[in-house]
Chains A and B, each alone.
Chain A
């Protein structure tokens, strides 16, 4: 591998540490009577934001009570991210394109599994409603968007990565670019 590739990979590993200091994902809710907006952020080990207010609203339609405890992911996510950072660092040290290929596969699989896990939780949270809910709209479910905006009754819900999320996603893409560069655009020694 070119030294520049190894440096970019090493920097990527450092950037990923940001996942521990900033929220990973942000879900926003907008409605006319909430001009100040409501939001919930997912950190590496907790939920934060207007959780009580969102719970207060969601209980009308029978959605579950949100809490950090309802996500077992918060218990092990920090170790998974640590593992990924180690893999990235080892790749930089290894100076081996096959290891780099392995890393790209790990990142790809982690990303897909992570988003699937998130989608699955959203599906459950939006569909699995308490049947004594006060407001029941036939055929209506409240699954938040995986990415982007979606109208849910009087709210517009938005779902986007936050600073900590970008701190992982951008380096991941950098690593993919490095891989493409190394694999297809440099001569084999």
Chain B
């Protein structure tokens, strides 16, 4: 199909022509993507190459644009978690919880301490699942498939915990306004305990496999580096920014869901290169494990949801037998609950950085405007800057270390 090829008016075509006339060098164009096994998602990069070296790149995104923000304007508040699931599907619970917290902020709901702790547990599990994917796939992209196959079994264990809590594996749609839809079963806690027991030695082994591996180090150290100043200007947040040496973490800067109750470190890197990003993510997994342990140890007794009958759906058996519950059920489903006119912005620390929800309500059952701050979208624009002057194979390693999730990038 000719329309997918580069037109002769494109600036790269002109550049090739110019260089050929100047010194006879043969530059070439490489079209990386939109569907390419090494890109883990669909973005297109048109690379101007001098042999194996990348002179410049131009990214095209939008190949999986699903119009989340438009859908959100047409859906009642409680149906929007479904969209947040599918944004960063590697760590869906973080997005779910972030959305509920945004709503709770807008509606002025205080949630019980127990809910906050349970949320912390599930969010940290999600972070581990996210980092497992990123780190193991980085191994795959530098030629080490073993680690991937090995640690992926433990991501399955996390999925089993999700299943125990909400019934779904990947797109969890977990929680409700003010809490959870049901109490966590003892089986769920048993599974979390088992995970906390079994996972650390495996993760240690995985780290040993790669962290001091000569080949891996040669492939990643000094590759795709970005300075702290540039990273901040490009809007980096999360592990990618911390790898550049900036200790910005929403969990500490603006603690939500009782993160202030826990002791944890923010791992930071030094050079902002692929290796540092890998190490920061691995270190974060250890911190997450420690947070989960603390939360389980301190887990208070109490209800699993806030007492907000206006927004929290009553249990089904009560709806059938109790007039009041039926009325509330009806009111919530028909969208006749009071929603204040307000604007809120609520950030959470997602797997890849600050996930923000900017919600504008107009008193109706749907948001007037809901904007998602998607960290991937914002930092992926730095990619071409980061790979300029590097080898093609380094570009692949850089891309996988950034952990760009197409669903989040394209909204």
Report if A and B associate in a common complex: no
